[in-house]
Chain A
């Protein structure tokens, strides 16, 4: 009896020991987690230091990242930013992107514009070639543009050509393709007739939708013309290989008219998730990352120093209200109350890690344009909060009867923190109970089209560096005017600006329109976007620009060791 008891006991003991061991390990892990994390990463920088020489590296293969796989490389059919980044390297329009992002002569060497600003003439350079040796002629541009607006082609952004006479008539099927206001009197001249003076035309001409296409290739191969074996383009590079989901390889186009100045031999684009890009960059497998997470900014800066690059980006993150019904339609006080109660500096510096600029008005900083910053932006916090509360009360809300509304925003990695912060601010500063609600993008889009959301985020990226692309968002009848804001005075100002040939006077009209928008409080701007990149120190020949279109042709790699 005694013996078996002892045996039993020792079995128990062993069991206990085992359990205790497991528990101990768990607790140790917990302790380590609690004590080990000092809030910073490892003390020694993760990436070994890179030594950069002065001469050119032997291997001039550029490895860049994209945020997502381009859906197509056909410049007319594409809709995503990533596809345009690649076609920027493959095609050249009448104008092209310079090193600093400004417009430089591309296929066109010079141009004239009529006095009323509506008629342009472009002169093409005779030495421009397609990658198969054919000369680039004006007919190639006419063909491409007609194809862009032709309903039969089924492009998703025919409105890109809206400023051109007859474009929308053709796109809506009311006119034949030949009626588009462009023509080619001779192989080296292109004429464009515009509906109204369009100062940003030169930027439009460098867009993918305005680039020339090789007619014979498309007519022969149809939808398959974008395959590497059939590919023909006129830019610094051509497509060598596409592995869907993995990479796009471009190689230098020897027949490009300026091939001598194109440095890289090869450019490989990798579509990668944000965090994966950081990992690959730090391991040295890519040299130019297209994005990094906002929340990692400070840490990356501490690890990589100058390799972390940021700059203003032509876009705004803002909230809009629904002007079709309660609670915002009738109450300007409420709209302004929400606007004033937002602590943008905190959002920008704390939540955004100082990456983004707080936005007080819809149009981001643009050269020549006077920012319409409302007066209250410079008030002290106390004064601003007091005024916000006064407006909130004037709108009929109080602690007993608070505002209860839902804020719709699209699912996105950095969004949750931002909107948690915003709704918390409104609660603290006003007592308003705004509930954040994230939705899958297309579901949200549907709701916005049907004007179902009372308060929602509508981030907007400008198509070209001009105030119109932002102010258009609130124009009556604009198909992305999700707030359904309709103001005849506002529309009149925009029309007046459209007809104005003098650029300075045109901007004055826009400034007036924006002031009106601020007074109405339809938009609750949050922050202006920034472009963020990680760049190896031995990659040269690039500059940040406001549209974040950094072409590969000027880039080159210096000799380097490590990284």
Chain B
């Protein structure tokens, strides 16, 4: 086990390097630079700005300089928000996404898991068709529709909740964005759990357990849970990494100061350091959560050996 962990952490380093390099290269390959506005600058001033941000150096030098800073935990200055560092932006935005994202995914896991299981147990009844219909809706209707719709109903017409803004851990301000973000994930999870649960419930060993007269609850919890959780865990790893680095649409619809929006404006404004920095962060999260997922596999299914 420890050997496994050690190996994975060792591999993580070169993986991160590749991620950083790819992102760096990709950003610099995109046409247009961060200081390209419609108004052209006199060359002298252009040179001065570029010198300040080291954009005048050959690309490989900039790359090495960036890696060096990265090794020290410094993600560099933001090119679009002058006089602000990427570290600062991430420090300010990450808690927002962490709160909204984890609440949304937890809700999705609970609600989706429960609904999916019940749907599988009461297959082809109303308990199955009704929630699954709503699951289909949840998947087909995009967030940029549900978000404004929720605002329209609960904030504008009913005045029950505020229409957005970030006020820390305040349930009134969190309810709508979490609900909007949780909806598609709930739908996904519900359908996946139902599918996996149906597989499991019709498998021989479950029928044996039931034939033995074990109550449904025991059957579900003790025998069926683990196989059902397997695909869920695979899905949740990247899902967590993704919500932690922000959902662009939720942030713009509700006006939340999260990382997702910076990422979008950063890509559009060619803010090299910001985009690469967030990508590196995302990479670290992906690696971490996928590792966690692998550990979960081993725990859920004792037959899984993590190395052959």
Contacts and interface: CB of A to CB of B under 8 A. Distances in A.
Q: Do chains A and B touch in the complex (CB under 8 A)?
A: yes
Interface of A: 11, 14-15, 18-19, 21-22, 25-26, 46-48, 68-69, 71-72, 74, 77, 79, 151-159, 168, 171-173, 223-224, 226-227, 243-246, 270, 272-273, 275-276, 279-280, 282-285, 440-443, 445-446, 479-480
Given A275-B148, A283-B151, A159 B81 contact: no
A165 B208 CA distance: 94
Contacts of A283: 151, 155-156, 159, 162-163
Interface string B115-143: 00000000011101110110000000000
A244 B89 contact: yes
Query: Which of B36, B125, B165, B255 has the most CB atoms of chain A within a 10 A radius of its CB?
Result: B255
B268 interface: yes
B44 interface: yes
B202 interface: no
B82 A223 contact: yes
Which 7 residue pairs are nearest across A and B when measured between Cβ atoms?
A: A442-B32, A245-B257, A479-B40, A173-B44, A283-B163, A246-B257, A154-B49
B210 to A, nearest CB: 18
A14 B81 contact: no
A79 B253 CA distance: 25
Interface in B76-127: 80-84, 88-89, 92-93, 124-126
Contact of B42 (A15, A171, A245): A171
Contacts of B265: 68-69
Contact of A154 (B48, B92, B132, B156): B48
B45 A155 contact: yes
B255 A74 contact: no
B93 A72 contact: no
Contacts of B162: 283, 285
B32 A285 contact: no
Given A151-B44, A246-B166, A280-B163, A46 B39 contact: no
Contacts of B39: 79, 156-157, 159, 479-480
A151 B42 contact: yes
A151 B45 contact: yes
Contact of A480 (B40, B80, B92, B125): B40
B38 to A, nearest CB: 6
Contacts of B165: 246, 270, 285
30 contacts: A11-B124, A18-B126, A18-B129, A21-B126, A46-B156, A71-B81, A72-B81, A72-B82, A74-B83, A151-B42, A152-B48, A172-B42, A172-B43, A224-B83, A244-B84, A244-B89, A244-B92, A244-B93, A244-B257, A270-B165, A279-B156, A279-B163, A279-B164, A283-B155, A284-B159, A440-B268, A442-B268, A442-B269, A445-B32, A480-B38
Contacts of A47: 156
A246 B259 CA distance: 12
Given A18-B126, A172-B44, A173-B44, 7 more contacts: A18-B128, A159-B41, A245-B258, A246-B166, A276-B148, A276-B164, A446-B31
A48 B155 CA distance: 12
B191 interface: no
Query: Which of B156, B251, B257 has the most CB atoms of chain A within a 10 A radius of its CB?
Result: B156
A79 to B, nearest CB: 5
Contacts of A152: 48
A442 B89 contact: no
Nearest to A279: B151
Nearest to B39: A157
A482 B124 CA distance: 64
Interface in B143-171: 148, 151-152, 155-157, 159, 162-166
Interface string B223-265: 0000000000000000000000000000111111110011001
B83 A46 contact: no
B308 interface: no
Contacts of B93: 244-245
B212 interface: no
Nearest to A459: B38
Nearest to A15: B124
Contacts of A441: 268
> How many residues of B sit at the interface, in one of the four size bands?
35 or more
Contacts, number: 160
Nearest to A174: B44
B63 interface: no
Contacts of B41: 156-159
Contact of A276 (B80, B255, B262, B269): B255
Contacts of A272: 252, 255
Contacts of B148: 275-276, 279
Contacts of B222: none
B38 A279 contact: no
Contacts of B52: 154
Nearest to A273: B252
A246 to B, nearest CB: 4
Nearest to B34: A442
Nearest to A25: B133
B37 interface: yes
Contacts of A14: 124-125
Given A18-B124, A18-B126, A273 B253 contact: yes
Query: Which of B45, B166, B257 has the most CB atoms of chain A within a 10 A radius of its CB?
Result: B45
A443 B37 CA distance: 11
Query: Which of B30, B41, B126, B132 has the most CB atoms of chain A within a 10 A radius of its CB?
Result: B41
A190 B256 CA distance: 45
A299 B170 CA distance: 33
B92 A243 contact: yes
A151 B47 contact: yes
A245 B262 contact: yes
Contacts of A273: 252-253
A268 to B, nearest CB: 10
B31 A158 contact: no
A246 B255 contact: yes
B201 interface: no
Query: Which of A159, A272, A442 has the most CB atoms of chain B within a 10 A radius of its CB?
Result: A442
A72 B47 contact: no
A71 B81 CA distance: 4
A21 B253 contact: no
B193 to A, nearest CB: 19
A152 B49 CA distance: 8
A308 to B, nearest CB: 16
